Structure 1
Amino acid sequence: MKTKTIAAVFPLALLLSACTTVDPAFKDIGTRTGGCVEGGPDTVAQKFYDLRLQQGPAASLPDSNRLAQLQPYLSKVLYQDLVTANQNPGKHQVTGDLFSGNAQGATSATVAGASTIPNTDAKNIPLRVQLSHQKDGGSAVNWQDEVLMVREGTCWVVDDIRYLNVPPHAASGTLRQVLENQ
């Protein structure tokens, strides 16, 4: 009799266990007080680079107008670092394009897709970016950088850019290091 009861209850318990919900590994993914750009990490990163290309290369720190346009794409920390750098222009003698591994900036950018990342609860995702600078009538210079995307609330934002081939104008390996070391 006991085995019949267990045999009858086991399939029912198995069926009920399949109906439970799974909570994400990270419930608290932070907050975001500013605007939010729609899309996953790769989509937001591509939109960021598209805006940067539209703005044209910056020979130094972005001015307040460019920075305001970039704010929805940037993490709170990176945005604040750029604001602080703009408020102390004498301290931050930046030459060349901060957002790429080439002093002249990029004329095209293609962000690698994030579709192969298995962890949907990820809080940060590094993505490779293929960049190039096409000189007028000349040959193109190609290189790669890595953009670190982080979650703030439900938004994906740029938190840092790692120069894979440290350019002479940067003297450091990442955008935030350049801002800190200047």
Structure 2
Amino acid sequence: MPAEPGGSSTKRDFLYIVTGAAAAGAVATMAWPFIDQMNPAADSLALATIETDYDKVVLGQQIVVKWRGKPVFIRHRTPKEIAEAVAGDHADLRDPATDESRHKPGMAEWLIIIGVCTHLGCVPTFGLGQYGGWLCPCHGSVYDTSGRIRKGPAPKNLYLPDYSFLPGGKVRLG
């Protein structure tokens, strides 16, 4: 139906706008529970960031902490382990990375990695591998002292979590 002369709107135009706005509000109200259920659960959010002491870990030792349901290795590397890792920088690596890129600047003695094999998700064991690092007991993936894949079926290096060193000998993961 044409608008009234002079371009003024009619009651019908107003009803279209009100009906459209009400329909959009109804759709948003019904869609919100479906969108909201995709947010992380409260227990997951609680584990998003953790702090742990690292200053009590002696040279050559590692501790394992649980973060986001995964083991994280915090290793206090010896000078020998660091030298072996740096020597491996020029090896033919499947997932190339230098030792320097695997730790925070000036903190080469601390290696913090997620302890989950990148092949099928097993937990590697330290000290059993050919390169002095980790060996995955499930399928034989071998990682060096920098957590880089050197042998076996794993396609990637052990992953690095987001972390930062805090005053007082603490490290924050997440």
Identify the TM-score tier after normalising by the shorter chain.
0.3 to 0.5
Q: TM-score, normalised by structure 1?
A: 0.31
- As a proportion of its length, which structure holds more helix? 1
Higher relative contact order (CA 8 A, sep 6+): 1
What's the TM-score, normalizing by structure 2?
0.32
